Structure 1
């Protein structure tokens, strides 16, 4: 099952890269063109559905082998070091919105002062910023709740340690129950990740949502590329030492 998920993960990332290129090459919607905005919105919806497919498949995989999800052999060492409950921390998305908004605002502040509008992430309205802040606070609370649940699971594992020795008595049943509970924690974390993506996209215009999804994918893909590069360099270094 996990070998299948490994292949799925690789093909999913490849398709995400194609979606990102497609979004980036799409012309900026003309202010008064409904068809332009509808086209961008359609692409945005396809990317959001792509993320939803990933988390649905991952939830199914967690029911059969949740421990491999924590090991994540398909990810680089760098990616795994950044993981929170087998994936990115949902609140990362809010930091991304703030960062992208700031960068874009600074890049065309002169145009804004002249009254020229771009409609991009650099022009978030006060209402949008208030909603981002509100969602961030709610998401932090949900992250903390999931973290506490994971901590409770770890404490139960520690209390169940005698049952693990030789897996005798009620050991196997206890192990299955613990793994099922861990899988449920992962499912909650993935549900929060997906919900956060949807909430951020919903409060943005089609153009802003496209820019947000491009930035999120580029961050994910960039970390993956850099992490794989570092892992390969480490392997070469180890081989060089072994030949001495």
Structure 2
């Protein structure tokens, strides 16, 4: 097992602990201390994600092909990967889905003018900012995809006697690091445009999706004897 495999397992365990803390914290804090505690938990979770990408960047520089192979992930997880990780625009599908579910569950209260303060209670301004960020993210995704395609188109150069292998590998590392930077920036910018309560709910459902896909993928691998 590589050092990044070990790191990833430990990192997931710590993320699970943070999610449990988020889930048990008061969603609508009534005191300044409770509000600060909630903000602190959100900041800790975001720092934890940043730590993952720092470690992954270092691992990519050591062995970029191992990062693409992702032996720590299930077959299902790898099938969903976009440039060695999740597609950044997945964040927006998650926001819209969760917002729709919560809106429908609270529609009677909302029609009565009661505010829930959760992801089902996004303001028009928040929806506009989410939509704008989604458009920006799609453009960046496409640009990075094009960069990877160019790298792949030049794969035959790797077989040439004059090929600069280190330079080609360095370019691939750069593509993955750009993709990871977009992943982290997308989550950060979404969290910034949400209220603290909404950010907590978003981080919980995002982690639950990650854990759910992982559990199901590992179970499928076990059944196939992988």
33-42 vs 200-209, which moves further: 33-42
Shift of 1:156: 1.2
> In the alignment, which residue of structure 2 is the partner of 1:131?
129
Per-residue Cα deviation, 1:106-155 (whole angstroms, up to 9, x for no partner): 11111112232220000000000000000000000000000000000001
Consecutive unaligned residues in structure 1, runs of 5 or more:
164-168, 237-244
Would you say 1:20 and 2:19 are equivalent positions? yes
Would you say 1:225 and 2:215 are equivalent positions? yes
1:73 & 1:162 partners in 2: Cα distance? 26
> In the alignment, which residue of structure 2 is the partner of 1:146?
144
List structure 1 segments (4+ residues) > 3 angstroms apart after TM superposition: none
TM-score when normalising by structure 1: 0.89
Would you say 1:206 and 2:196 are equivalent positions? yes
SS at match of 1:214: helix
RMSD: 1.3
SS at match of 1:63: helix
TM-score when normalising by structure 2: 0.96
1:76 & 1:57 partners in 2: Cα distance? 20
Shift of 1:214: 0.3
Consecutive unaligned residues in structure 2, runs of 5 or more:
none
> In the alignment, which residue of structure 1 is the partner of 2:84?
86
CA contact (8 A) 1:37 1:207 kept: no
Shift of 1:38: 1.8
Per-residue Cα deviation, 1:184-216 (whole angstroms, up to 9, x for no partner): 000000000000010000000000000000010
> In the alignment, which residue of structure 2 is the partner of 1:184?
174
1:212 & 1:162 partners in 2: Cα distance? 46
